[in-house]
Chains A and B, each alone.
Chain A
Amino acid sequence: MGALLILIGYFLGLAFDSAMAGLVIAILLWVILSLVAYFQGDSILLSMSKARKIRPDDHPRLFNVVEEMKIASGLEKMPDIYIIDDPALNAFATGRDPNKASVAITSGLLQKLNRDELQGVMAHEISHVKNRDVLLMAMCGVLLGTIVILAYYGSRFLFLGGAGSRRSSSSKGGGQGQIIVLVVALVFIILAPIFAQLIYFAISRKREYLADASGALYTRYPEGLASALEKLAASTDQLRSANQATAPMYIINPFRKKGLKASDLTSTHPPISERIRILRAMAGASFNNYDQAYRQVHGGQGVISAASLTAETVPIATIKLEGEAGELNEVQRARETSDVMWRLSNYKTITCDCGAKLRVPPNFQEPQIKCPHCGRTHRV
Chain B
Amino acid sequence: MPVAVWVIIGVVVVLAIILWSLYNGLVRLRNQVKNAWAQIDVQLKRRHDLIPNLVETVKGYMKFERETLEAVTKARNIAVQASSAGAGERAKTEGELSSALSRLLAVVERYPDLKANQNFLALQEELTSTENKISFSRQFYNDSVLKYNNQTQMVPSNIVAGMFGFKAGEFFEVTLAAEREAPKVSFTQ
Which residues in A have some Cβ–Cβ distance to B below 8 Å? 60-61, 64-65, 67-69, 71-74, 115, 218, 220, 312, 318-319, 321, 325-326
Contacts and interface: CB of A to CB of B under 8 A. Distances in A.
Interface stretch (B6-14, B47-55, B127-135): B127-135
B136 A72 contact: yes
A319 B185 contact: yes
Contacts of B105: 325
Contacts of B106: 325
B166 to A, nearest CB: 20
Nearest to A218: B136
Interface stretch (B73-81, B118-126, B157-165): B118-126
B185 A321 contact: yes
A65 B130 CA distance: 10
Interface in B24-39: 32, 36, 39
Q: Determine the interface band of chain B, counting residues with CB < 8 A from chain A.
A: 20 to 34
A94 to B, nearest CB: 23
B93 interface: no
Contact of B129 (A65, A72, A74, A318): A65
B133 A67 contact: yes
Contacts of A60: 122, 125-126, 129
Contact of A71 (B108, B115, B124, B136): B136
Given A312-B146, A319-B185, A321-B185, A326 B137 contact: no
B125 A71 contact: no
Contacts of A218: 136
B139 A67 contact: no
Contacts of A312: 146
B109 interface: yes
Nearest to A324: B128
B185 A220 contact: no
Nearest to A219: B136
Interface string B153-189: 0000000000000000000000000000010010100
Nearest to A220: B139
Contacts, number: 53
A72 B125 contact: no
A325 B108 contact: yes
A71 B185 contact: no
Contact of A68 (B32, B132, B182): B132
A67 B129 contact: yes
Residue of A64, A319, A321 with most chain B CB atoms under a 10 A cut-off: A64
30 contacts: A60-B129, A61-B125, A64-B126, A64-B129, A64-B132, A64-B133, A67-B133, A68-B132, A68-B133, A68-B136, A69-B136, A71-B43, A71-B136, A71-B140, A72-B137, A72-B140, A73-B140, A74-B32, A74-B36, A115-B128, A218-B136, A312-B146, A318-B182, A319-B185, A319-B187, A321-B185, A325-B115, A325-B124, A326-B115, A326-B125
A312 B146 CA distance: 10
B58 to A, nearest CB: 13
B185 A68 contact: no
Nearest to A60: B125
Nearest to A69: B136
A317 to B, nearest CB: 9
A200 to B, nearest CB: 33
A52 B71 CA distance: 44
- 7 residue pairs, one from A and one from B, having the closest CB atoms: A64-B129, A72-B136, A326-B124, A71-B136, A68-B132, A71-B137, A74-B140
B121 A71 contact: no
Contacts of B185: 319, 321
Residue of B125, B132, B182, B187 with most chain A CB atoms under a 10 A cut-off: B132
Residue of A71, A312, A321 with most chain B CB atoms under a 10 A cut-off: A71
Contacts of B126: 60, 64
Contact of A64 (B36, B108, B115, B125): B125
A353 to B, nearest CB: 16
A68 B124 contact: no
Contacts of B128: 115, 326
Given A68-B129, A71-B140, A72-B139, A326 B121 contact: yes
B151 to A, nearest CB: 14
A68 B132 CA distance: 7
A282 B41 CA distance: 32
